[in-house]
Structure 1
Amino acid sequence: MADFSKFGAPRPVENGLTARSERGDIGEQWWSRRFIGVLESFALGTRLTRGRSYARKGQVISLEIAVGEVQADVQGSRVTPYRVRIGLKKFSELVWAKIEVALAEQALYSAQLLAGQFPRELEPVLAQIGAPLFPARLADLDLRCTCPDQAVPCKHIAAVFYLLAERFDEDPFLLLRWRGRSKEALLERLRALRGDVEEVPEEDRPVAAPVPTGRPVLSARLALGEPDPIAAVSGGKQAKPGPAGGDAVAFWTAGRLLPLPSHPELPPDLLLRQLPVPGAWLGGEELVRELATLYQRLAPED
């Protein structure tokens, strides 16, 4: 390890990025605390402690989060700031497609994300797909710093870790951007998969409001090469979609509904999941949740 005694104390920085937390743990939300917890589980010793001190002193000059990498400038004892890079492998488009379909199938998760919230269940959902939200080991991160310290991570990288956690506190979608998908692109895809439409004000609403009755989530699953679960319980025949529009009653009666599936690997509310979420004037998400509970109660016992 390099001898830093000759370099002295780090040079002070004017208007540096300073951690909001002045003492104790850094990170307020579950995702930022989880991120720091993962890093601390790698047993990095005093390097994290020294990095936390750097973060609180404002030694980090700049920090940028992009797809697959984080770049930062950190002021040390030398005149020229050190350049830090923290790389994390982005998910492929195929993996993101699977993630988006899995999230769109869960009405509650989709609603939370579209409302700007970050559900705790997101981590296990991604893990089940084989796309972990957080790095599982230190080797998953590509850590680089231009300082002479041969230890990885050095205190400069550690300082960026803590400020990164606070950035995630402010906007958790930056964590997904790091993995390859912007907030705007993700939410737009979820709206498309769920077939959501803009809510029509009551005074402008026609007597028979058009309601989409397609199966965008199922279509996306079929596009990914997955079998049609409806066909699996209907003798191999594809279920025909209902008409393109209709009134409030038609939302629940359009087309021929298949019997509830009894296959042990299929959820009882599978048909309900294929319908778009109705507008708030019909009950919206709350109505879907109540119907899903009813489907579970009415499902035949094994």
Structure 2
Amino acid sequence: MTHDLDTGRTFGALPPVRGRVFATSWWGRAWLQALEDTALDGEQVRAGRRHARAGAVGAVSVRPGRVTALVHDRDGTPYRADVMVQQLAQDDWDRFVGLVAGRAEHLAALLDRDLPPHMAEDAAAAGVDLLPGIGDLEPECACGAWDHCAHTAALCHQVARLLDQDPFVLLLLRGRGEREVLDELEARSAARSAGPVAGEPAGVPAREVFAGHRRTAALPAPPPPVEAPGRPPALSGDLPAPPGLDVAALEFLAADAARRARLLLAEALTPGHDRTPVPPPLTVREDAVRLAADGAPGTVTDRLAAGCGGELAGLARAVRAWRFGGPAALSVLDEEWTPEPGVLAQARDRLAAAWEGDGQPPRLAGAANRWTAVGTGVQLRYGHDGRWWPYRCEDDGWEPAGPGGRDPVAVLAGTLAED
């Protein structure tokens, strides 16, 4: 439960938690990464994580520039722990609010209590750093430690759980409460509707547009929207099919061609389509798997499996992978390769630091780009696209278990949570 205060919010103590990562959102993970990058003693960070898991952090008070809580030591002694964060300047807030108000997808995400990566990237490009970095989380604890201790580290881990639930906590730490941010966004949106905003492009006066219209030829009418592909003709009839012609397969291919033509036309009519990179053509195997994933009838599926040189079970596994991520997911299913050592070392360190099931991180075994979390029946595979793809051990072997993600911690935690 939270209580609104004049200058902040107070969150009740959260229950103990075991067997899961502390932050599941990317911004919660970024907060903990700032802690790990700032603290000089990694053992204190791990001790703080254990304190937080055990429920040693009391009610958390969040206000601009500071977060405070009582954290109990192992012997029950309470210590007041504070973590300070630099507040954003007025100019920074003006740029951030203008950025969010000017893009509908940013405004919708924030109202939905989401902080998508591209919003933070756009803010950073405008000179506004929403997320803390190295050295930005300044500790202060009654235990007398001058660096991050177990108490301030425990508080940071608890804040990461709060950030998962509500990114407005981050904005409050940076200097603005939820109501204040929403009021500024509403005022900026109203001003935008009423006329040009100071410091932003004024646009083109309507009279100039109408004057220019008189001097130019009218544009042709846009093509009608493509709502759905037409039904392909039925090719079966009273006459027998010629030898070697599979009528059902031909009808399926005709329907598939109609669907793909509709998608291509819809993409061509999308503004900015000419700037979209053209994907590479599909290989024979990729196209066969795509057709099977699109609902090919049984006789066609048999021919697709034979054409790929595999059995139906192998095709079913490939279809499952395709539905999770298209060519990139299929590549991870088929190919075993060795990534750069630095990529794997960084991922292994993140997994070891973030995961503690009953006090021990999962033991990872494997080679190349395939890592198995021993005893869990879950495997992670690293793809050429920079994403980690989850697999689960079934009776017939390793099966694709979900879409890929950039963060191996989140992918592993999400897959284990489904078991």
TM-score, with structure 2 as normaliser: 0.44
Matched, 1:214 2:188: no
Stretches of structure 2 that go unaligned for 5 or more consecutive residues are: 1-11, 213-266, 276-419
Matched, 1:257 2:237: no
For residues 101-250 of structure 1, what are the structure 2 equivalents within 5 Å?
101-138=98-135, 140-148=136-144, 150=145, 152-195=147-190, 213-215=193-195, 218-222=196-200, 228=201, 230=203, 239-240=204-205
Query: How far does the alpha carbon of each residue in 1:170-210 deviate from its partner, in whole angstroms, 9 at most, with x for none?
Result: 111101110011122222222322239xxxxxxxxxxxxxx
For residues 21-60 of structure 1, what are the structure 2 equivalents within 5 Å?
22-42=18-38, 44-60=41-57
1:97 equivalent among 79, 94, 97: 94
Displacement of 1:51: 0.4
* SS at structure 2 position matched to 1:116: coil
Q: For 1:87 and 1:78, how far apart are their aligned partners in 2?
A: 26
Query: How far does the alpha carbon of each residue in 1:224-256 deviate from its partner, in whole angstroms, 9 at most, with x for none?
Result: xxxx464xxxxxxxx55xxxxxxxxxxxxx654
Q: For 2:53 and 2:113, how far apart are their aligned partners in 1?
A: 28
The answer to whether the 8 Å contact 2:52/2:154 transfers is yes
Q: For 1:259 and 1:75, how far apart are their aligned partners in 2?
A: 73
C-alpha distance 19-106 of structure 1, shift in aligned 2 (>3 A): farther
Please report the RMSD computed on the Cα atoms of aligned residues, expressed in angstroms: 3.2
The answer to whether the 8 Å contact 2:67/2:83 transfers is yes
* SS at structure 2 position matched to 1:18: coil
Q: Which residue of 1 aligns with 2:70?
A: 73
User: Which amino acid counterpart does residue 166 of structure 1 have in structure 2?
Assistant: R
The one of the two structures with greater contact order (alpha-carbon pairs below 8 A, sep at least 6) is 1
Moved over 4 A (4+): 77-80
Displacement of 1:62: 2.3
Q: Which residue of 1 aligns with 2:334?
A: none
The answer to whether the 8 Å contact 1:17/1:55 transfers is no
User: Which amino acid counterpart does residue 221 of structure 1 have in structure 2?
Assistant: G
Identity, % of aligned pairs?
27
The answer to whether the 8 Å contact 1:72/1:83 transfers is yes
Displacement of 1:117: 2.7
C-alpha distance 134-19 of structure 1, shift in aligned 2 (>3 A): farther
Q: For 1:113 and 1:67, how far apart are their aligned partners in 2?
A: 19
Displacement of 1:19: 4.3
Q: For 2:162 and 2:16, how far apart are their aligned partners in 1?
A: 10
User: Which amino acid counterpart does residue 170 of structure 2 have in structure 1?
Assistant: L
C-alpha distance 257-100 of structure 1, shift in aligned 2 (>3 A): farther
Displacement of 1:108: 1.1
User: Which amino acid counterpart does residue 214 of structure 1 have in structure 2?
Assistant: A
The answer to whether the 8 Å contact 1:68/1:87 transfers is yes
User: Which amino acid counterpart does residue 257 of structure 1 have in structure 2?
Assistant: V
User: Which amino acid counterpart does residue 182 of structure 1 have in structure 2?
Assistant: G
Displacement of 1:97: 0.8
More strand by share: 2
C-alpha distance 293-176 of structure 1, shift in aligned 2 (>3 A): farther
User: Which amino acid counterpart does residue 174 of structure 1 have in structure 2?
Assistant: V
The answer to whether the 8 Å contact 2:87/2:175 transfers is yes
Q: For 2:211 and 2:21, how far apart are their aligned partners in 1?
A: 53
State how many pairs are aligned.
208
User: Which amino acid counterpart does residue 27 of structure 1 have in structure 2?
Assistant: A
Displacement of 1:75: 1.4
Q: For 2:41 and 2:129, how far apart are their aligned partners in 1?
A: 21
Stretches of structure 1 that go unaligned for 5 or more consecutive residues are: 1-14, 197-211, 223-227, 231-238, 241-253, 261-289
C-alpha distance 115-86 of structure 1, shift in aligned 2 (>3 A): same
Q: For 2:59 and 2:174, how far apart are their aligned partners in 1?
A: 20
User: Which amino acid counterpart does residue 129 of structure 1 have in structure 2?
Assistant: A
Q: Which residue of 2 aligns with 1:272?
A: none
* SS at structure 1 position matched to 2:138: strand
Which entry has the higher C-alpha Rg, 1 or 2? 2
Displacement of 1:63: 1.2
Query: How far does the alpha carbon of each residue in 1:77-133 deviate from its partner, in whole angstroms, 9 at most, with x for none?
Result: 567521111111111222101111112221211122233332222211221222212
